[in-house]
Chain A
Amino acid sequence: MIQLLRIEWLKIRSYKTFWILLGAFVLLFPVTYYFSASKYMETINTRTQESTMINSILGAPFVFPKVWHSAAWFGGLFFLLLGMLFILLITNEVQYRTHRQNIIDGWSRTDFILAKSSVMVCFILISTLLVFLSGLIVGLVFTPSSSSASLFEGIKYVWYFALMATEYLVLAFLVAILIKRTGLAIIIYFTTVCIIDNLLWILLTLKDSQLGYFVLLEPTDSLVPNPFKPSMLERRKASDTSLLLTALAYIGAFGYIILSSFRRSDLKT
């Protein structure tokens, strides 16, 4: 696996788009998060009646322990950049026909999928670490010294983020392997993530149904809900565990389709 990752590194280390998109995520997410926190805390600290009310409804999203939740959610907002990058890294191989050449040169079909999976794992590790560090720094800066909250209470949201990142990337992987063409794959991915997924959620949560929480990316999205949405508006009754297991089932199913379709198919462009 390490050897496969090393070869992937040889491929992407001089690829400009890789650095631009990765750099955009690594810079934009923490900076936006920090400035949002800073602006919010500034408003709260004016201590007007209105701001105190807002803060009590939202439950101090940039202060321990809720800071982990908001960090994970902000990370999710920017994560599509990595999803898009991952699609590019796969469809590029088809466009350059290097997916054929890698096999001709001696990789098995499974090696190819494992190599890309190793890149995926790196993306998950990097982004999760960034969520952790951003949450930690924002929490340390903005939590009042009088707070008695423990530092790592609510850290489960960082793990939920890792799961969300995994499901988003495995879906990107699936779309790239099945669609092959860069432009079309990115359009289909964004349409699925931003439109189809939400439409299904709306349709399947009508009349207080809980089914919508189990559709496509909703299990992981629902594990990290919008921290600025007052908890009294939350209609989810499905447990975290049930969503977690559903997300794992999706990841497993997508992974199976990716591997079996790539192993069976003719490698054409």
Chain B
Amino acid sequence: MSILSVISISKNYGPIKALHDVSFEVPKGSVFGILGPNGSGKTTLLGIITDVLKASSGNYLWLGKPGSHEQRKQIGTLLETPNFYPYLSGTDNLAVAAAIKGRGANDTDRVLEMVNLFQRRKSRFNTYSLGMKQRLAIASTLLGDPDILVFDEPTNGLDPAGIAEIRQLIKELNRQGKTIIMASHILDEVEKVCTHVAIIQKGVLKTVGTVEQVLSSTHDENLQVINIASNDLTKLGAIVREMPGISAVQITDGAIELTTDSTIDPAEINRYCFEKGVVLNSLSLKRKSLETSFLEITGKKSDR
């Protein structure tokens, strides 16, 4: 059974369609990324499945049943920004959340330790830095050790070390068998953390599936991308344009991106350039990234 079924959800704000007929299933045990540019409808969708927003049409099921507040007690959710009482300490804020979830307050220390906030647990929330507020919000989602977690931009406001830590935590939670639904506009994050991805653009679901499926759906099997560089890019560009099997040459920032037949071995390019009198100082076969797929799926900048 799916953890979450989103069934034909639409949301209109007057004439603006924030979501249009969005449907997908979140399988158990997945890290499900909802990817889209800012303003694409990710948070609106998460708002609907957590009942803070009302869908204009369509519905959703958690574990096969219509959403209810009793189910939400079993789901840890961080929506948009950390929402806490500024005059209460970290511990007291978590005590409120734990009481609403119907859990004892004795779990707060455990979750505060999990996000490295235990030392500052008695400080008031309004004295926390942006990163600490985000950590507290993540700690709050972990209260009662729920099997389902919903994160909206979980690494927002964190420093690079914090980002790595939270990504690690998400992977660890997933290893423990938890299902994680995560909205993000950071492609790299989704690619590093998620097993599944849904791409939303202007409120429309563009594609959904495992990360591999989404990558391969836009992948032309007969082509590959190779990056090369030398001390003289202009000369290098002129040489490789004449090499057979090269279909496109693009000079980018300090390197040249070649689109070639997939039959061409990078070593051949190296040899060819050397024979033509140019020594390469960099050569790499570029793996197709989710970024490339994302840009292909969502189109040009002006469309986004």
Contacts and interface: CB of A to CB of B under 8 A. Distances in A.
A106 B15 CA distance: 31
A101 B93 CA distance: 11
Given A10-B92, A10-B96, A101-B97, A106 B69 contact: yes
B123 to A, nearest CB: 13
Contact of A266 (B53, B81, B88): B53
A16 interface: yes
B77 A104 contact: yes
B83 A97 contact: yes
A15 B87 contact: yes
Interface of A is mostly: helix
Given A11-B96, A104-B72, A111-B69, A98 B85 contact: yes
Interface of B is mostly: loop
Interface string A98-131: 1011111111110100000000000000000000
Contact of B100 (A14, A97, A102, A265): A102
A179 interface: no
B52 interface: yes
A107 B87 contact: no
Interface centre among A7, A96, A105 (most CB of B within 10 A): A105
Given A10-B95, A103-B51, A106-B102, A96 B83 contact: yes
B79 A16 contact: no
B118 interface: no
Contacts of A3: 99
Contacts of A6: 99
Size band of the interface chain A makes with B: 20 to 34
B87 A16 contact: yes
Nearest to A110: B69
A47 to B, nearest CB: 55
B95 A101 contact: no
B120 interface: no
B52 A10 contact: no
Contacts of B87: 14-16
B99 A104 contact: no
Interface of A: 3, 6-7, 10-11, 14-16, 96-98, 100-109, 111, 264-268
28 contacts: A10-B92, A10-B95, A10-B96, A11-B96, A14-B87, A14-B92, A96-B83, A97-B83, A98-B84, A98-B85, A101-B84, A103-B50, A103-B69, A104-B50, A104-B52, A104-B77, A104-B79, A105-B73, A105-B101, A105-B140, A106-B69, A106-B73, A109-B51, A111-B69, A265-B54, A266-B53, A267-B52, A267-B53
Given A6-B99, A98-B85, A266-B54, 14 more contacts: A7-B99, A10-B96, A10-B99, A15-B87, A96-B84, A97-B80, A100-B83, A103-B72, A104-B72, A104-B77, A105-B77, A105-B100, A108-B68, A265-B54
Q: Which 3 pairs of residues, A with B, have the shortest CB-CB distance?
A: A106-B73, A101-B83, A97-B83
